[in-house]
Amino acid sequence: MTLAADVRGVLVKSIEQLEGVAAANIHTYVIPPTDMTDDKPVFLITEISNDDAGFGNDSPTRLAQQSQIQIYYPKDYDLSMDDLETTLKQIMRQAGYYCFSGSGREMSPDNQQLMITFKFNHNK
């Protein structure tokens, strides 16, 4: 299983805690053109790095992994973005993924939706 698939599994397992989010709108690597929702956030999970670390006896003892989650909000999103983002970070932290960067919200250039990017560290 890939790192991105692992992260998706963490989110889908906790979907009830992510208010207004549907598992069908959580994607790995690419958002398919068929995901045309305009009332729910869309999540895109990608991998940043997956490097050997913690060497012993000249062999790696763990993987230092980094993943990224981008959230694309619908234009008329009326729930709390702050609450959703805080819950996301809590769910990830409980699963051993620690946020090391949150970009702040920005406007996507193609469709003028608000989006935010979070980056997470994980050791495997």
So what's the pLDDT on residue 89?
A: 98
Fold annotation for 3-123: STM4215-like (3.30.2000)
So what's the pLDDT on residue 61?
A: 66
Element (H, E) at 25: none
Structure tokens at 73: 């909000």
| Cα end-to-end span (Å), the chain | 13
So what's the pLDDT on residue 102?
A: 92
Over its C-alpha atoms, the chain yields an Rg (Å, rounded) of: 15
pTM of the model: 0.90
| Residue count (the chain) | 124
So what's the pLDDT on residue 124?
A: 84
Alpha-carbon gap, residue 114 to 107, rounded angstroms: 5
Give SS3 for 41: coil
Residue spans of the chain under pLDDT 50: none
Beta strands at 42-56 and 26-28: parallel, antiparallel or unpaired: parallel
So what's the pLDDT on residue 114?
A: 94
